[in-house]
Amino acid sequence: MYSPDIIGHQAIRQRLLARLQEGRIRGSLLFTGPEGIGKRRVVLELAQRELCFRRTACGQCEGCRLFAGDDLPFELPNLLRITPEGKAGVIRIDQIREGLDSSNQPRFSRGVIEWAALAPAMGCHRWILVEEAHRLNESSGNILLKTLEEPPPDTHFILVTHRPEALLQTIRSRCERIPFAPLAPRDAWSVAQRKGWTDQDHDRWIALGEGSLRFLDEGAYRRAEAQVEAWLALMAGRSFAESAPLLLPEKDSTLAQGEQLRQPLEMLLRLLADLARMRAGEPPTLAPWQEELEVLATQSRNLRPPQEAALQALRHLPRNLSPEPLLREVALALVS
């Protein structure tokens, strides 16, 4: 009864299916939990099962093939996907109202609200998936509010985010929250092995991912690995000029600058938390770097200033500040 391509979250998937079959699923849901753990894929399973010829999301029939591959259409007979657009990486008001992409070319023929009001295909619900819902700006979020409060019959909005605190409080209050936990390490690694990862990367891949699949892409993994090394080097006395290239955003990346900066800042917070753990006699979460962390943990470094600087920098990211001065200020707090 479940897609063979999804690993983990079995209890949530069973509960959602039972509620759907009994007609008890809410019109607006908010899927929360760490980034890259499969929340979006669980939404797709709900829609895929309805188009599957066997009604099981078997992954083999013509209905399931609509959902196959990484280049998933934005509109399917029973599914509409809303994703962030443009270099700024936001969900804009015209995506909700008019259904246009960043080049003002029709991506789907109607705006979200009109699409939601259409009658669903026979035997189906209408599913509207809002990916990275924390990227709704205030205007687009406010337009969506009324429909979230009273969705049309057999229409379900599912907002997916790893940062629910960044959503408008009025949006959070109109959705039933479904919290997802990280994947078990063995489950995450089994997916990685399918993608060609080998045992030589196991320990670091597991430690960096924290039960997620964020680093299935080797480029993303290597960048995260390099960021850990850069912060450790800065704490050990290397100059900011030497380490900065590994921490600064890549100019040709499709990711917004703020999102690129978020990862190294959050990685620094993980390292600082591990230093505090080791001073308390506990093992670090980034165990593959334990030897370097042990040396740093014996130093009389005050961990509070860099923690506060990193948190402050994260709060300032939406203002699109210049990345190098922002990171330089955090680096100075490491050695002050």
Domain ranges of the chain: 10-179, 217-335
pLDDT at residue 322, as a whole number: 87
Confidence of residue 87 (pLDDT cuts 50, 70, 90): low
DSSP states along 166-230: GS-HHHHHHSEEEE-PPPPHHHHHHHHHHTT--GGGHHHHHHHHTS--TT-SHHHHHHHHHHHHH
Confidence of residue 258 (pLDDT cuts 50, 70, 90): confident
* 254 token code pair: 């499709």
Q: How far is CA 219 from the centre of its chain?
A: 17
Average pLDDT value over all residues in the chain: 90
Whose tokens are 């399973």? That residue is: 45
Q: For residue 92, which amino acid is it?
A: R
pLDDT at residue 110, as a whole number: 66
131-143 confidence digits (pLDDT tens): 999 999 888 999 8
Residues written for the chain? 336
pLDDT at 72 over 60: yes
Max CA distance (Å), the chain: 67
Query: Where does 10-179 sit in CATH, by number?
Result: 3.40.50.300
Q: For residue 46, which amino acid is it?
A: L
Q: What share of the chain in percent tops pLDDT 90?
A: 70
Q: What is the pTM of this model?
A: 0.88
pLDDT at residue 119, as a whole number: 84
* C-alpha gyration radius of the chain: 22
Question: CA quadruple 320, 324, 325, 329: dihedral positive or negative?
Answer: positive
Where helices occur in 29-99 by DSSP H, the ranges are: 39-51, 62-65, 93-97
Q: How far apart are CA 224 and CA 201, in angstroms?
A: 13
pLDDT at residue 2, as a whole number: 57
161-218 confidence digits (pLDDT tens): 999 999 999 999 999 999 999 999 999 999 999 999 999 999 999 999 999 999 999 9
b/e string for 302-317 if b means 16 or more Cβ within 10 A?
A: eeeebbebbeebbeeb
